[in-house]
Structure 1
C-alpha cells in the first residue's frame, strides 16, 4: 500500500511538472503574439503621427488643428494601451518580481501617463506628494497597471460638470 501511494505521488509530480512546462510555453507564445501585434499596430500609428506632423506644416485652420490634436490624443491612447498589454505579458512571465524603485522617478513617469489619460477624458488632474520616502519595492508593471486602471476609472466616472481627479502619494498606512 505504501508503494502504491509513492507511485501515485511520483505520477502526480510528473503530471504537475508537465503542466507547469505547458503553462510556461503558453506564456511565451502569448508574449510573442502580443509583441507581434503591438509591433504591427505601432507601425501604422507611427505613420499616422508623421502624417499629422506634416499636416501641421500646412498652416491648418483652428478646426483642423483641433482635429489633429484629437488624433494625436487617440494615437497616444492606443500606444498606452499596447504598452500596457506588453507590460501585462511581461508580468505574466516575471511572476511578480519585485524591484527597488526610485519614488520620484516612478511618480514622474506615471504622472505623464496619467496626464495623457486625463487629457483624453477631458479631466483635470492634480498630484500631491506628501512623503519623504525616496525608494520602495514593488512589481513595476503590476503597480503601474493597477494605478492606471484606477485613474482611468476615476476619470471616466468623474463629475461631468467639473471633472477632476486628484492623486496623493503618502506614507500613511491608515486605510
Structure 2
C-alpha cells in the first residue's frame, strides 16, 4: 500500500529490497515522476484526489518485480556448486541479444507498461531508445495545435 489517506510513499520508502544492481534508484525516480504529476494535477484542481489511488495500482507491480529480481540476484550470489552452475548458465544466456535486452530492460525499468487500453505498443511505456525503434512518434502538439514547446493558452 503506497497511500494511506494523505500519506504517500515513494522510492525507497515504499518497497524493501536488496540494493544490488542499483535498479531501485530507477524505480524510485519513476515512482516520484508518477506521483509528482498526479499531486500537481490535484493541487491545481485539474483532477480529483481519487487519481492518487491509481498510484498504488500502477507502481506496486513494479516494486513486486523489483523484489523478485533482487531476490534472484541474491540467489546467484550464494556460494555453492549448484549456484555456480546456475550462474554459468545465466552468464551464457546473457551472450544472447534477446536475453541481454530482456534483462537490461528489466534492470532499467524499461519493461514497465501501464495498461492504458488498446493502442500502440509504446502507449503506457517509458520513452524507448528511438534510434532502435522503427516507428518514430509524430511531433507532439499542444491542445491548440501548437508544436510542443510553442505558445501555451
Q: TM-score, normalised by structure 2?
A: 0.33
Instruction: Write 1 or 2 for the structure with the bigger share of strand.
Output: 1
Instruction: Write 1 or 2 for the structure with the bigger share of helix.
Output: 1
Q: TM-score, normalised by structure 1?
A: 0.30
Structure scoring higher RCO (CA < 8 A, sep ≥ 6) equals 1
